[in-house]
Amino acid sequence: MSTFTLPQLPYAYDALEPFIDQETMNIHHQRHHQAYIDNLNAALKASDETSDDLDSILQRISEYSPAVRNNGGGHFNHSLFWETLSPQPKLNPEGKLAEAINSTFGNLENFKAEMKKAGLGQFGSGWVWLLVKFSGSLAIASTPNQDNPMMDIQSVSRGFPILGIDVWEHAYYLAYQNKRADYLDSFWSVLDWSVIERKYEEALLKIK
């Protein structure tokens, strides 16, 4: 039977301050993410699912219950989120990813502006993504709740997410209150582009 566990963070809860505060990190990781994992394990047990490949489950999410969709997405999305953050991040993309961003969005600042626009435009809870579409091109998408572009329920912009910004209020409300725009601006100060570059290369290999 599948049993997923909470990933350990590669940095302390206060390491991302002042951009993401310690209390938010602690609650977000220990309570919210842990709850998604606990509920996902329970939902998969009820469905007699034996696979421990979460990517495969999400790509066939239409075959599963809403509980697997919500909590499986929550586990995947948060795991990606933690991995891409760093107290000592590489602040600009290079190489093939930088070239793809420039050719798709014009330049990095335009890309960030489009991500912010998508983040502010996401009504209620959800995520904003940079993804590699199955065609190999980059795209920006937003999804509600804990959905993501990998899920087969998406009608547009399906692909492999390589960067996700959590715009649920629990991700930022203690420090930013209702100022989602300020949170979206601060996010880039702790995003490690070296991780996004690696995930871009991995995504390209998956679609070959």
Q: How confident is the model at residue 157 (pLDDT cuts 50, 70, 90)?
A: confident
pLDDT at position 106 is 98
Residue 141 CA to residue 43 CA, distance in Å, equals 27
Question: How high is the pLDDT of residue 170?
Answer: 96
Is the model's pLDDT at 1 over the cut of 60?
no
Specify the pLDDT at position 52: 79
> What is the predicted pLDDT for the residue at 2?
63
- CA neighbours closer than 13 Å in the CB half-sphere of residue 176: 23
The pLDDT, as a whole number, for residue 3 is: 87
Q: What is the DSSP string of 122-181?
A: S-SSEEEEEEEETTS-EEEEEEETT--TTSTT-SSS-EEEEEEEE-SGGGTHHHHTT-HH
Residue of 46 and 32 predicted with greater confidence? 32
Short-list 88, 73, 91, CA closest to 33 = 73
pLDDT number for residue 207: 87
**Binding site membership: which residues?**
28, 78, 166, 170
Annotated binding site for Mn(2+): 28, 78, 166, 170
> Domains of the chain by range and CATH?
22-84 (1.10.287.990), 95-206 (3.55.40.20)
Residue 155's pLDDT is what? 79
- The answer for residues whose C-beta is within 8 angstroms of residue 35's C-beta and 6 or more apart is none
pLDDT > 90: what percent of the chain?
Answer: 92
The secondary element (H helix, E strand) that includes residue 45 is: helix 34-47
> What does residue 124 show for φ and ψ, rounded to 5 degrees?
75, -150
Write the pLDDT tens digit of every residue in 8-24: 999 999 999 999 999 99
| pLDDT, tens digit, 9 for 90 and up, residues 76-130 | 999 999 999 999 999 999 999 999 999 999 999 999 999 999 999 999 999 999 9
Model confidence, pTM? 0.96
Q: What mean pLDDT do residues 171-186 have?
A: 97
- Mean of all residue pLDDT scores within the chain: 95
| pLDDT value at residue 154 | 87
